[in-house]
Amino acid sequence: MKRLTIVRIATAMVLWMTIGCTPSPRVVGNQEPVGPQSRESTVNALFAPPSPETIPGDLRGEQIRLGYKMIVATQEYGKRYVGNALNCTNCHLDGGLNPNAASFVGIAALYPHYHERAGRRVTLADRINECFERSMNGKPLPPDSVKLTAIVAYIEWLSKSMPSGSAVPWRGVPRIASTHQPDSPGGKKVYEKKCAFCHGSEGQGTAAAPPVWGPRSYNIGADMARIGLAASFIKANMPRGWGWTVTDDEAIDVAAYINTRPRPDFPGMTHDWPKGGKPADAPY
Ligand code: HEC
Ligand code: HEC
């Protein structure tokens, strides 16, 4: 057997074990686990982001608007802190207003809270900076900076109707429940057929879509670098704006493929999960 084939089989086995351990549906706050069907109906019933007309006309309103710009035009407004070609809205779709793509609506009510990856209590500002360092492959914003305060203000405004500590049923991404064995070479075929024409044949991005691997993508410490999470995001949201979808199996395979391509390193992640709780699909 060729060495490459052995490596591929070994990789596939490791990936299969990790996907097999995909966390059960999320429990947020004090509520019961939310499965795919009940998530959808709960979200349909409760998801109601405030309308932009309710942004106050004062200084606070200006902060909120700047925060929104930081999310949708991070390349421009957050330039100094970004180390890749992404904007927050590329994953937190529709400026954080999409209930299937790690929405920001309501989440301020959940902070501060203990974050296992950090091994400590984190504030919303800390969590935003984690995405700057990992998803954006960049640098954290200074704690009291106008720009960080603005993003916090935007997310707080999106959370104003959620009492502190209340449950956020749409939090995160709807997770796929599948025991399919990820097959990275199979994922390459899916990628070429269903992703490359927007994301580029080398994952480098095009005018139509951002990069999914390579030096201008998220780094290995990002949440999206985890196969289970990426597969769920892809299943729920890709291809963007087209009438067709991918199956669960295709999403798992293609997530395994893109997340085994080269991407920026993240040295800081050797300090992750200092007190345990590391998910099986973390890529290290
Ligand atoms: C029709 C074009 C199109 C197709 C096809 C498409 N995407 Fe995307 N994808 C996008 C766009 C546009 C975004 C950014 C969305 C935004 O900013 O609103 C995106 C975002 C993403 C992201 C998060 C941001 C990033 O670049 O890391 C991932 C991961 C992703 N797509 C994976 C895939 C995969 C895998 C496929 C194939 C199954 C796929 N996409 C097919 C257009 C597309
Ligand atoms: C490559 C995709 C990607 C990009 C780009 C990205 N994020 Fe994230 N972000 C994620 C994922 C995935 C999660 C975790 C979702 C989960 O755990 O289900 C997350 C989580 C978060 C959270 C915590 C959400 C919660 O429910 O507690 C915040 C806040 C956040 N990101 C802010 C930002 C900001 C601000 C930016 C831009 C500076 C950004 N992110 C860019 C993918 C991304």
The per-residue pLDDT string of the chain (284 residues; one tens digit each, 9 = 90 and over) reads 444 444 444 444 433 333 333 333 333 333 444 566 678 888 888 888 998 889 999 999 999 999 999 999 999 999 999 999 999 999 999 999 999 999 999 999 999 999 999 999 999 999 999 999 999 999 999 999 999 999 999 999 999 988 777 789 999 999 998 999 999 999 999 999 999 999 999 999 999 999 999 999 999 999 999 999 999 999 999 998 777 789 999 999 999 999 999 999 999 888 899 998 888 888 66
Q: Whose atoms come closest to the Cα of 281: which ligand? A: 2
At 249, which helix (H) or strand (E)? helix 248-258
Which one, of 165, 144, 160, lies nearest residue 61 by Cα? 160
121 φ/ψ angles, rounded to the nearest 5 degrees = -75, 130
Shortest-distance atom of ligand 2 to CA 218: 1
Longest dimension (CA), the chain: 69
| Protein residue whose Cα sits closest to atom 30 of ligand 2 | 128
| Protein residue whose Cα sits closest to atom 41 of ligand 2 | 88
Q: Which fold has domain 36-40+47-157?
A: Cytochrome Bc1 Complex; Chain D, domain 2 (1.10.760)
186 half-sphere exposure, CB direction, 13 A CA radius: 13
31 half-sphere exposure, CB direction, 13 A CA radius: 18
Report the distance separating Cα 173 and Cα 233, nearest Å.
Answer: 6
Shortest-distance atom of ligand 1 to CA 210: 26
In this predicted structure, what is the pLDDT of residue 4? 44
DSSP structure class, residue 153? H
At 189, which helix (H) or strand (E)? helix 184-194
Domain ranges of the chain: 36-40+47-157, 174-271
In this predicted structure, what is the pLDDT of residue 31? 41
Q: Which of 82, 88, 110 to probe ligand 2 with, by most ligand atoms within 8 A of CB?
A: 88
Fold agreement between 36-40+47-157 and 174-271: yes
- 102: Cβ below 6 Å to ligand 2? yes
Shortest-distance atom of ligand 2 to CA 86: 5
Report the distance separating Cα 110 and Cα 165, nearest Å.
Answer: 5
Q: pTM of whole model > 0.85? A: yes
In this predicted structure, what is the pLDDT of residue 101? 97
**Class for domain 174-271, per CATH?**
mainly alpha
CB atoms within 10 A of CB 194: 19
